[in-house]
Amino acid sequence: MIHSRNRRLRINESVRSLVRECTLTTNDFVMPIFVMEGENKEEPIASMPGIFRRSIDLTVKECKELFSLGVKAVNLYMKVSDDLKDNTGKEAWNKNGLMQNTIRAIKDAVPEMVVMPDVALDPYSIYGHDGIIENGKIINDATNDALARMSVSHAEAGADIVAPSDMMDGRVQVIREALEESGFTDVGILSYAAKYASSFYGPFRSALDSAPKDNMEIPKDKKTYQMDFHNSREALNEVFKDIEEGADIIMIKPGLPYLDIVSKVREAIDLPIAVYNVSGEYAMVKAASQNGWLDNDKTIIESLTCFKRAGADMIFTYFAKEAAMILNR
């Protein structure tokens, strides 16, 4: 006779929900947003169905809708005009730049929205790299100084949390010190601590025209600063260093192919963990669902719940708005 039957706790949805180990809510989502110059402009991103580049006015409108759906945080990326790009990234700390004006507009319209601007030089670089280049190499410390200026500029515009995604060594400490010295003691740092050199970023880079340029004199990819996807223990090394330097939240990127890293970091630290459900992951689900190979809504919720099960506290995802609508139904 069988005394222990696990199926008893799966007998119907009411019982299943009663014993469920993790639950997905709209409070878990951060929506990445692409912003462009202009007014009343919206451009679809071909490789990311349902995602757009928008001018500031339409971005503000989108943020209002997101907040009404329960999505309380956005992550901002700029589509920078070519004539503003150089090898210093100086447009990144222009007080009247696109990013700074976007932050102010969102905070004015939706004060309770958590605004997390991306901190990296690749959208502002003529080379498409996250750092300043000298003699064919990405220069670490000079890049850190630029990232600190960028972060302070974001804080001055009203950012709640800055999100350095560059993977330069020591940049969290440089940014933290710059924020403290400028009086922004309450501005948090969400550090991309374990960001891998991944093939899953393709649609994102096409959205911002931020891929490394084809130039024999510079690195053809980002493997000299982003992590090697073969490595696992290295992630903990990166995470511990960023925590020591003053990070408030730790990011792991990409998401679904790196759930082992999320789980391993969760076991090692108590800080909040963010995970990035990146553009390639989004594009794959959308392509499969549009071809009728996957159920769109069910696959979205299952994928996002995997991040919570692995130990993530928050999920950066292009599905945020759509997932919120599904959950609210």
Q: Among all residues, which ones are annotated catalytic? A: 195, 253
Residue 189 DSSP SS3 = strand
Residue 33 main-chain phi, psi, to 5 deg = -130, 135
- Extended strands (E) in 129-238: 132-134, 137-139, 161-164, 188-195
Q: Which residues pair with 88 in a beta bridge?
A: none
Pairing of strands 137-139, 132-134: antiparallel
Q: Which pair of tokens denotes residue 19? A: 């014993």
Nearest to 197 by CA among 152, 241, 167: 167
Q: Is the dihedral of CA 172, 173, 178, 182 positive or negative?
A: positive
Here the tokens at position 70 are 């329960």
Q: How many CB atoms lie within 10 A of CB 285?
A: 22
Residue 243 CA to its chain's centroid (Å):
18
Q: Where are the beta strands (DSSP E) in the chain?
A: 29-35, 42-44, 52-54, 73-78, 114-119, 132-134, 137-139, 161-164, 188-195, 249-253, 273-277, 314-317
Angle, vertex CA 205, rays to CA 87 and CA 217, nearest 5: 40
Q: For 183-295, where are the alpha helices, taking DSSP H only?
A: 202-208, 233-245, 259-268, 279-290
Q: 207: burial class by Cβ within 10 Å (0-12, 13-18, 19+)?
A: buried
Q: At what angle do helices 296-310 and 320-328 cross, to 10 degrees?
A: 100
Please report, as a single letter, which amino acid is at residue 10: R
Both tokens assigned to 244: 């020591």
